[in-house]
Structures are given as C-alpha cells and as structure tokens.
Chain A
Amino acid sequence: MNALGSLAPTAIPPDDEALRAPVRAFLAEAVAALPPQVRARSWSGYDPAFSRELGRRGWLGLTLPPQYGGAGRSPFARYVLVEELLNAGAPVGSHWIADRQSGPLILKYGTDEQKRHYLPPICRGESYFCIGMSEPNSGSDLASVRTRAVRTDRGWTLSGQKIWTTYAHGCHYMIALVRTSGDAQDRHQGLSQVIVDLSLPGVTVRPIRDQSGDSHFCEVFFDDVALEPEALIGEEGRGWEQVTAELAFERSGPERLYSSIVLFDTWLAFLRSGVETPSAVRLAGKIVAALAPLRALSVAVTGKLARGESPIVEAALVKDLGTSLEQFIPAAIADDLASREGQSVPMELLLTLDYLTQVAPSFSLRGGTRDILRGMIARGLGLR
C-alpha cells in the first residue's frame, strides 16, 4: 500500500503519556493567567525566562541524549510535552526552533565537538537558533539560494542575505543553507549548511513588522562575515539532503494542528456562558470531527519518526490538513460571532479572533506553502 494506508492508529506509550500531568500542572501556574490574545501567540511568543524554566525542569532537548544534557526520551514524550505547551498557549518561541529541529540536526550531522558545544545550552533553554533558508529571491524555490560561503585559509567568508527568519533578533545562532560551490543553476548540488554566530561582525539583523503588528521575523544581512572552519555542519555539498530531512521534523508536529486552539477554547467558554446556539454547537462538533483524526494522524507520523523512518509525504499530508483546519477555525468563529444580534462578545475573545484572523494566512506559508506541499504529495502518489 502507498503512503495513504500506512498511518495506523498509534498509542502513545504510558511512560510518555505520564509526562502530561506534571506539565499541565506547571502550565496552570505559569501561563493560565495570561489573557487569551497573548496565549494565542504560542510558538510566536518569545520569553527567555520561560524557556530557561522549561530547561531547568528538564523539558528541553527531551529527545537528545543525556550526555549532551538531553533527557534521552522518545519523540512521543516530546509530542505530549509540546501538545500541552501549545494548548496552554505557552510562549515557546525563543527555544522553539532549537528544540524542534536545530538540536536534532546537530545531533544527527554534527561532530562530537559541535555536539558538546551546542547541545547542552540548548537543553538549558539558554541558546536559541533560527532557520536561515528563505531569501528575497528564493522562497518556494529554495534550491536557488545565493548566499554564499567561500573557503579561506581561516575558515569561510559568508556573504548574502536571508529573510523571514523567525526571531533572528532574539537568537544566538542561525543554521543557514548556503552555496559553497557552483551557482544557482546547479540547484541541489553545491549547497551546505553552516552555523552562524549572529553576534559576529558583519551580521546585521532587521526585524520586519507583520500585519498584526508583531515583529517576529527578520531580514539578516551577511557582509563578508568570517566563520571558523567548524561552522560547517554536516557534509559540504550535502545541504539539500540535510534540509529535506529537517523539514520532515518541521512539518508533522502538533504545531500544525493547534495554532488556533486558544481561540477555540475561548469561544467555547463564551458559548458555555449561556449563549450557545444550535449552529454554534454544530460548528464545535465539526471542528472536533476534523481535529480528532488529524491528531491521530500526527501521532502516527510521530510513531514513524520514532522508528527512524522519514515520512516526508505523510508529514506533508498532515500539515496541509492541519493548516486548513487552523485557518478554518478563525473564519468560522468570526461568522458565528458576527452573525449574532444584541449580544455583547467579550473583548478578549474579539482580540484573540482578530489576532488569528490576521496571522492565519501565514499558517499555510511557513514551513512550505500549500502548493508546494501538494506538489510533494502528488509526487509521493506517483504523479510525476
């Protein structure tokens, strides 16, 4: 059977499920008092103190080996943790990328020296990473990147520009996809990944404001930045394969289902205050009917990752379904609230809805656009 029949109901092992209660108890103290329009930001919320507290509790780098400061646990444990964090609307943005993908990438491709250097502070919630893939002229067509690292006697010289880099202004390092040989016509050949210390001379970071008023992503300029030889992560020339593997981790997690969940919870609380209507009940049920199988699919993809598989097509299927639901929720809740008469809707609910209405378009852009994912799915189905 093709990818369509390969995602079976998967149980989260009891040991991993057991993490849920302590995490939930901690979050009830730590974030429940924040207003929903703040919690709705979740993995766009930046809070180093919160990240360090998670690190102190041993909840960062959960899947990394203990020798590097991690907890040596399975991807299911991380799934449970992240599911709780996102549903609570915890501000996880500062450590998010490091914990989700940079740490595992360094573990997989790094030298022992790199692992010892980078991983322990990631696990302590002190060291934050960003993803340097997109450039002004390389969005979906990622293989066309022009930022270049040229070998010198003392390492590399980096020049070029990245854009849309989430929290570059609050991160210590970027893992950048750069050209180390050939030119844009060589496509997947000649690309490599380098770890860039963002405090180095020649690096300029400029935040960009999005339409909701937040500034989470940035332009990053490299003006002949001198990098050490060990800035290279993985193999020279294998950057494309490395990035592709990284994206499977990026696309399948619970963060592709729950981006609008704080709004959903807030709306349900409003309904329970005595203003439920038959159409609102029906809508709530429709969202649950979509969410339940999606959650099961996303756990099943985690099961594949836990077995060491690389479920790229499955992750794309789940991400496209998930982001569609995430975008449906604010649209449908807006219709419900705006179709009532003579009822006052709490301001916090309206602000949360307004925030999500404005950021919803990004759900199907970040991490690969909807069209790009559908193209990957089609290829996986044997259509190319």
Chain B
Amino acid sequence: METAMDDLFTDALRRWLTDQCPPDRVRAIEAGESHASLWESLEDSGFADALLPEERGGAGLSLQQVFPLLELCGAHALPLPLGETLLARAALAVARIEPPRGSVTLGEAVATADGGVRCDRASGGRVADWVLTCIDDSALLLPVREAQVRGAVFPLDAALTWSAATTCGAARFDAALDIRALLACVHAAQIAGALMNVCNRTLQYANDRVQFGRPIGKFQAIQHQLAVMAEHVIAARMAAQIGCRGDPTQLDRSRVAVAKARASEAALEVAAAAHAIHGAIGFTAEFDLQLYTRRLHAWRQAAGAESYWHDVLGAELLRQPDGPAFDLPRRLTEFH
C-alpha cells in the first residue's frame, strides 16, 4: 500500500517535470523569468506535502520514500527548492507550526551584530518564498520578500540579510535543527539524480557522435571512462539512499555524511568525464549538459563538500572502541 503510494507520487512528479520543467524553462528561470506559476502548479499537485502526515493533508511518506522525488528534482534540474520545502514542512509540522504558503528553502545563517540574520548562501534563495534557519537551537522562519537580497554565485541562490525588526517578528520555535545535514541530505539525492541524467546523456552522445568513421563509444578509452562514470553513479546513488533514512527531522549525521561525501566526490568526477567525452559542444550554453554539470558543482559545494563530511565520519570512527572498523559502515547500511 505504502509502496504503491510512493510509486504513484514518483510517476506523477516525473510526468509533471517532463511537461512543466523542460530545459528551456530551467534556462528561462535561471535567466530571471518569474518562477511563480511553476511553483503554483507544483503546490497544487501536492508534492510539497509528501512528508506530512495524512491528517495534516500530506501523503505520509517516509524519507526513504521521498528519495525518488528528490532524485527526480536533480535529474530535471528543477529550478525550485522542492526538496528543501519537503523537509522544512516536515520540521514545521513537528513544531506544530502551520507551514506558510509558498516554498521554503533551508539556509545556514548567522546572527548579525545588530540583531538581524545573515544567510550568505541560501540554496534556491532567489526563487524561494521563505528561509528556515536555526541559530543556537532556535529555529526561525524568515520571509524572503523582506530580506535584503544580493546575488550569489549560482544564479538561483542568493545572499540574504534580514533586519533586527524582521527577525523579531518572524515565527520562531525551539528546535535543534541541523540545517547543514538537512541540506546535505537533499543535495546528495539531487546529485544522484543529476549524475544519472549526465551519465545517460553521455552514453547516448558516445553512441551518436562519429569520428574516424565510427561512434566514439566504440573506442576502448571512451568505454572505460564511461564504465568508471557508471561506477560513480551507482555508488553515489546508493550513498544518497543511505542518507535518506530515518526521521527527516532527526537525521543520522553519519548517514548523511556518507551520502554527501560520496555524492560530492562523484559529482566532480562525473562532470569532468562528461565534458571530456562531449568535446567542445558540451561546453556551450546552448547544449543542455551544462544545466546539470553546473548544478553538480554547485551542489557539491553546498552544505559541506566531501572533506567536511569525511571529517565528520572520521571523528565518528575514531570515537569507536578498537574492533572491526566495518561495524560503522555496516551499521550505516542496515536497512529495515
């Protein structure tokens, strides 16, 4: 029954993305076109409430069941913070706060000297309506329309600052939300989706592109690069699924560390190999590959790249008593 429900959701989101979010739409929104109608359509379809319990109007899916949704967002380069909204609404529901209308991204933020809040890199901050953050075990829901907005490197992201007055008026609740881990969980799953897309595109290209009288995919050097790419794709996808387990508001930091570290490593390798195999055309703005490979880099660099999460895992491992080290990866990969 549950399985049927998440399959329905996944199929519905795939259809919606194929219809509503083709590469041209992604490009247009990246270039500044309004995202409002796209979000309205997404909201109307109910995807953003998938993690909420049924009595609160949601679909009651578990985190592992929304993995395919997060993966699809990455595979289609959805220019909206749907994954972040899913997790943010789950956190708000636990705090018994009615989620506001609109999208909610997650932002790592600091308090400013004058009592406001600064978020230097809100993922999807330019296209989000709200930012959920957490400073000193106090969660804050801040409206983007009242922020002072500066650009960030990735066109959909933004650097946001809220004044003391806005911060005072914002919804606030006690919760030790691990914003970095939540974001890392979402980004790892999105990376997994984008990796699969990039790998499939590159396979197709290798079979189509002819040089020296045959498809370049017939050359052993290209075949082996693609084999290595495929290895990164399956490892990162499994890692991202390891991250998407358990209670979405109480993520297991070690699992998320595996997810984000391995996915980030793969993002780098796969993006590089995809561009190498595509030749010059893959590096043009007009060709779609860049929509996904630029995101691979952006998501790798968001919420801790591989070394940050390696440090987390290494510290966890060294805290264990002497004994088989594989007990840690084994515990992290026990699926019930």
Contacts and interface: CB of A to CB of B under 8 A. Distances in A.
A295 B227 contact: no
A265 B325 contact: yes
A285 B241 contact: no
B224 A296 contact: no
A371 B224 contact: yes
Interface stretch (B16-24, B169-177, B313-321): B313-321
Given A383-B217, A384-B218, A281 B335 contact: no
Interface in B283-336: 306-307, 309-318, 322-326, 328-330, 332-336
Given A4-B199, A87-B326, A258-B326, A281 B315 contact: yes
A269 interface: yes
A299 B326 CA distance: 14
B231 A321 contact: yes
B238 A288 contact: no
A10 interface: yes
B235 A294 contact: yes
B226 A381 contact: yes
Nearest to B255: A292
A235 interface: no
B322 A291 contact: no
Given A4-B233, A289-B258, A293-B258, A374 B318 contact: no
Contact of A289 (B199, B237, B241, B309): B309
B313 A9 contact: no
A258 B329 CA distance: 12
A299 B227 CA distance: 21
B324 A88 contact: yes
A284 B313 contact: yes
Nearest to B312: A285
A282 B314 contact: yes
Nearest to B329: A292
B230 A285 contact: no
Given A7-B238, A272-B318, A289 B310 contact: yes
Contacts of A374: 223-224, 227-228
A290 interface: yes
B160 interface: no
A5 interface: yes
A297 B238 contact: yes
Given A284-B318, A294-B235, A11 B228 contact: no
Interface string A272-286: 100010101111111
Contact of B329 (A12, A295, A384): A295
B227 A378 contact: yes
A260 B326 CA distance: 11
Contacts of A375: 220, 223-224, 227
A291 B242 CA distance: 12
A321 B311 contact: no
Given A272-B318, A293-B236, A383-B207, A282 B311 contact: yes
B239 interface: yes
B226 A378 contact: yes
A268 interface: yes
Contact of A288 (B226, B307, B314): B314
Contacts of A381: 203, 226-227, 230
B227 A9 contact: no
Nearest to A89: B324
Given A291-B326, A296-B333, A317-B230, A9 B206 contact: no
Interface on chain B toward A: helix, strand, loop, or mixed SS?
A: helix
Interface in A314-355: 314, 317, 320-321
B261 interface: yes
Contacts of A268: 317-318, 322, 325
A285 B313 contact: yes
B262 interface: yes
A203 B233 CA distance: 47
B273 interface: no
A283 B242 CA distance: 20
A284 B326 CA distance: 12
Nearest to A320: B231
Interface in A33-82: none
Interface string A344-384: 00000000000000000000000000010111011001111
B196 interface: yes
Contacts of A321: 231, 234-235
Interface in A191-226: none
A283 B203 contact: no
A11 B335 contact: yes
B333 A292 contact: yes
Nearest to A280: B314
A285 B326 contact: no
B257 interface: yes
B223 to A, nearest CB: 4
B181 to A, nearest CB: 15
Contacts of A295: 326, 329-330, 333
Contact of B239 (A11, A261, A271, A289): A289
Nearest to A7: B234
Contacts of A384: 218, 223
Interface of B: 64, 196, 199, 203, 206-207, 217-218, 220, 222-224, 226-228, 230-231, 233-239, 241-242, 257-258, 261-262, 265, 306-307, 309-318, 322-326, 328-330, 332-336
26 contacts: A7-B238, A9-B333, A9-B335, A11-B335, A261-B325, A265-B323, A281-B318, A284-B314, A285-B309, A285-B313, A286-B313, A288-B317, A289-B265, A289-B310, A291-B326, A293-B238, A296-B241, A317-B230, A374-B224, A375-B220, A375-B223, A375-B224, A377-B230, A378-B223, A381-B230, A383-B223
Q: Which 4 A-B pairs have the closest CB atoms?
A: A285-B314, A285-B310, A285-B313, A378-B223
Given A289-B258, A378-B224, 10 more contacts: A3-B234, A4-B237, A5-B237, A282-B310, A289-B261, A297-B235, A321-B234, A371-B224, A375-B227, A383-B218
